[in-house]
Amino acid sequence: MTVTAEHGPGWAHEPDAGRRVTAAGRMLAVLDAFGPRHRSLTLSDIARRAGLSLSTAHRLVHELVAWGALERDGEGRYSVGLRLLELSALAPRGLGLREAAYPHLEDLHRATRGNVQLGVRDGTGVVYVEAIRARVRNPVNSRVGDRWPMHATGTGLVLLAHAEPDFQEQVLSSPLERFSPLTVIDPDVLRRTLASIRQTGVAVARGQITVADMVVAVPVPDAGGRVAAAVSVVVEATEARTRELAGVLTQASRAISRTLGPRPVTGL
């Protein structure tokens, strides 16, 4: 599992016929049609996923291509353009975390030889602000900017476990998508899982997105002790070294916390 999606990039979108949508809303709906499982779309795909007529989608896509938010390939398919990458690099929350964390994530990657992700809570989902992919064969395809649901990812479970009780119930009472036969979607089971994560400081998720994967994740507190992010390692589920992974993750988390501010929190 891992980064391996909430009502955001990568999720199926249904048009809301009863809602008045502004011009800006329609433009955003076009961009929102893209996601981890929908990186390249035809114009028809965009119109359907954004809930727009083909003519409206064509006009908006043309404007977005001209501005650089979308790019069109030789086969007529569209993908997110580099202009959005330029803007995303300006986001202070993601940029500061990435700069603080990257050296330690590299160390973590070398030590574990797994896929490494740094995720933050955004709305009711988790967004990856950094991802380092393993060079060896691995079914996970983690990328910066991927958004996934909190209930099915190791980083998401960590962030949800340390969220406000009302927010937890909001997430658990919403429809929970199943990605694999092992995805846990029972709210009661998830509540027990969140309680265990708060007690142990570690989340272990096996096969939640893809059956072959195991994810181990821990929180990253800021200088004030609030959970600012979660860091995870994804390995093949056959590699039963949960305790070892939890140990190196905790070391990485503490190192990142020290970089984030003058009063690091210990005792993870």
Tens digits of per-residue pLDDT, 123-147?
A: 899 989 889 887 655 555 677 878 8
- For 18-71, how does the pLDDT look when each residue is reduced to its tens digit (9 = 90+)? 445 688 999 999 998 998 778 899 999 999 999 999 999 999 999 999 999 999
What pLDDT does 220 receive? 95
Residues 6+ apart with CB under 8 A from 12: 49
What pLDDT does 98 receive? 81
What pLDDT does 266 receive? 41
What pLDDT does 199 receive? 95
What pLDDT does 7 receive? 32
Segments of the chain scoring below 50 in pLDDT: 1-19, 263-268
Helix (H/G/I), strand (E/B), else coil: 209: coil
Name residue 204's beta-bridge partners: 216
Amino acid at 44: S
- Burial class from Cβ neighbours inside 10 Å (0-12, 13-18, 19+) for residue 195 reads exposed
Helix 23-32, helix 54-67: angle, nearest 10 = 80
Helix (H/G/I), strand (E/B), else coil: 136: coil
Strands 213-221 and 147-149: unpaired
What pLDDT does 15 receive? 42
Amino acid at 198: R
What pLDDT does 183 receive? 94
What pLDDT does 133 receive? 84
CA distances from 237 to 107, 148, 205, 231 (A): 22, 20, 9, 18
Q: Characterize 217-256 residue by residue with b for buried, 16 or more Cβ atoms within 10 angstroms of its Cβ, and e for exposed.
A: bbbbbbeeeebbbbbbbbbbbeeeeeeebbebbbbbbbbb
247: part of which helix (H) or strand (E)?
helix 242-260
pTM over 0.85: no
Which domains can be identified in the chain, with CATH numbers? Answer: 23-87 (1.10.10.10), 92-260 (3.30.450.40)
Q: Cβ distance 183 to 209 under 8 Å? A: yes
